[in-house]
Structure 1
Amino acid sequence: MHASRELSAPSAPAPWQRTALGANLLAADGGLGVTIFEEMTNLAVQTGAINLGQGFPDEDGPQEILDAARDAIAAGANQYAPGKGIPQLRAAVAAHQERFYGLTPDPDTEVLITTGATEAIAASLLAFTGPGDEVLTLEPFYDSYGAVIGLSGATHVTAPLLAPDFMPDLAALEAAFSERTRVVLLNNPHNPTGAVFPREVLQKVVALAQKHDVLIITDEVYEHLTFGVRHIPVASLPGAAERTITISSAGKTFSLTGWKIGWLTGPAELVAAARTVKQFLTYSSGTPFQPAIAAGLGLPDSFYQGIAASLEQKRDILSEGLRAAGFGVYAPQGTYFVNVDTAPLGITDSVDLARRLPGLVGVAAIPVPVFCHPEGAERTRSLLRFAFCKKADVLEEAAGRLAALGSRL
């Protein structure tokens, strides 16, 4: 496998066009398309399908966190929060990093609260990359990575993740680094594949970053959603801390995606640079939600163990239906997504099947090729991603519908 480099637009595009092109939203004629998430959601609404495309839970998070937000609103926490986040939440993030990973960021200078992980990623990339730089990600990649890389003016370089376990091709990973590489952006646990990278893979990333003097930005929003394997923060590895910005958020852990409370941690000088950009994106957000998330981060270990165990059961419910449908199922080690291969059904175009699936069996999914550049899209053209962060009875209904797919094709 070879690293792939993004195709250049035929003429100098405007920043919004670079953003759209990076997210695979710009048509050949320059027209703007809609995200695959919007398209699949619309199809689900039109057909009454169960939407297992976009990854958001259909249940609220812990009651004590919801109550804490209500209490904060009632107490008057309704104006701007400090730009770097309220002290209570910054302290809670620092305590979380120490509690789970032995990391000890200074809550005053090495923690920044953001409007979700998405803003943390954007602020970090825009702080450190620009025209002439390269940003390396694994492929498939979360679509906002390509969008922000495009907005920055940097070039998006990828290295492939290979089925069935979606581990990186280490030779291709090494070949993807160059003298222009400025940032390696790593997502672990990985969306959309569900892979959780072991220590040896992460150490290889760190070694290559050291060799090329590259900044590591690591998106770890699914850190507590792993199944039978342990999440290892990149910043905890030897040689990584001084060059790593670690990003996470409350949305996935607490099933509160609409609150958009995220954070980043890292060396003070890196955090200060990201904060400089962040303050001109949103300045601050979610004032009453911040103390509520601080309370959530202090929940006992039983909570964190319970959310992973519950999701593992949901993964298995959906996977059983997917196997009954005739798909090749790749069991994820983390996140709340399961990928399947459509080839055993004699179907090699997952984009086409995704558009037909709501009408065929009343279930919506996302084709994996949309998370790739053209070469990667060809490599993953028979893969579909399903989300299992739904109520068990919804997943049981979806599994039953999917089991009938073979007779509907």
Structure 2
Amino acid sequence: MLLDDDTRMIAEAARRIAAEHIAPNAAALDRHVPGARETFLANLKRLAENGFMAVNIPAAYGGTEAGATAFALTVEAVGAACASTGVTVSVTNMVGEVIASVGSEAQKETYLPRLADGTYPAGAFCLTESGAGSDPAAMVTRARMDGNEWVLNGAKLYITSAAYAGLFVVWAVTDPEAPKGRGISAFLVEKGTPGLVIGREEEKLGQRGSATNEVLFEDCRLPADALLGPLNGGFRIAAGELAGGRIGIAALSLGIARAAADAAIAFVKERRQFGQPISAMQGPQWMIADMETELEAARLLILQAAALKDAGEPFGKAASMAKLYASEAAQRATYTALQLHGGAGYIADHPVERYARDARITTIYEGTSEIQRLIIARATLA
């Protein structure tokens, strides 16, 4: 797919920043080396200053206004350098997009510039609960009116960037008597709001540099205008934004897989067995060929979904197809890269073991592969 000059320039700038500043910190961030988190936060600020935290946000609110295709290419480039940084970029952009899509003018003027310029290091979505993962309509977090304020109570689980996010989009039940899914609303909650409590940071298999926390709401009081979008319209907002977020996670999956593939290609050219580079052997050649074909197919699915979104066309099915295929392809690519490295791939001196760990979650968050299949099937059979 051919890209216009502006989109190509944005992608090249993202790759340059990722290579120069983000990739050198990735291994240290994964291992929780002292100082790595501070460098990570500095890199988030650098990305914001270069327009990458608000890629698809109108310029009137400080955004780059470059579209979904530029967003996908940005996340791919950053994700190839560091998946933990890539997922932060993806989620923060989607927080901005939901505000731009359904927020009031006051909310757009207040919050979007702070996401765009890095005043907020990141944004966070508070949707998942212990009993409401693939079935978000089953959430039990409540928001009730008390005078002219909303009072939030409940707990959210596995919230990306919660430890340093400046702004949270929170979903809660506002009409418990409504049919399932129809009495949910969305709210904007700033860091430091009394009653907003950030729980402990989870220890994870992969993407260890990205903070993942429980977020608690204990009589958390919000002004009436913290409501985002229509009252009891939160489920529709979540469904719409998850579709856009799936483009981001598909692109992140591709970035991780691309980094693994590039490492494998370099390794097989250097590694010699039986008197020749293993790249000269048919077995490794076919493994590389299959990996390259799958990654190119994933890229085209992602760009198709992004192009549909940019054109204002329905893109939900395409986004699910891209997310399903790219995330599953990333599992195969990272494990193929590890296999091509042999025993060396299992050692932390080589980055492919990190790529394999980082890729694993991509088939789970923003909707599991099984949920994507349901969405695709229902759209096809409708």
Structure 1 length normalisation: TM-score?
Answer: 0.26
Higher relative contact order (CA 8 A, sep 6+): 1
Q: Going by fraction, where is helix more abundant, 1 or 2?
A: 2
